[in-house]
Structure 1
Amino acid sequence: MLRWAIIFAVIALIAALLGFGGIAGLSAEFAKILLIVAVALVVLGLIFGRGGRRVP
């Protein structure tokens, strides 16, 4: 998911440089949403991830 956020950010940068404001804004929003979701999944994975289940 982080890969897709980076791809959309690059698309937004290229579109902004070429003057396509609508596409740049939309791609930037997608990148922001995907980045937030990816960070949330990483944090949840760290909190609820595989803990040290010890077998006696």
Structure 2
Amino acid sequence: MLKMALFFAVIAIIAALFGFTGVAAGAAAIAKVLFFIFVVLCVVFLVIGFVVAKKVVD
């Protein structure tokens, strides 16, 4: 999912350089949403990992 966020961020940058503001804004919005979904999932799995590791060690 992080690859898709980076992909849309690159599309937004390229579109902005060519002056396609509507396309750039759309691609940037998609990249932002995908990035925040990735961050939330990362935090959730990090917490789950700590909980499971604590139970396994005990």
TM-score normalised according to structure 2 size: 0.87
Report percent identity of matched pairs.
Answer: 45
- The residue aligned with 1:32 is 32
Instruction: Please show how residues 1-56 of structure 1 align to structure 2 within 5 Å.
Output: 1-49=1-49, 51-52=52-53, 53-54=56-57
- The alignment covers a number of residue pairs equal to 55
5+ long unaligned stretches in structure 1: none
Task: Give the alignment's Cα RMSD to 1 decimal.
Answer: 1.4
Which has a greater percent of helix? Answer: 2
5+ long unaligned stretches in structure 2: none
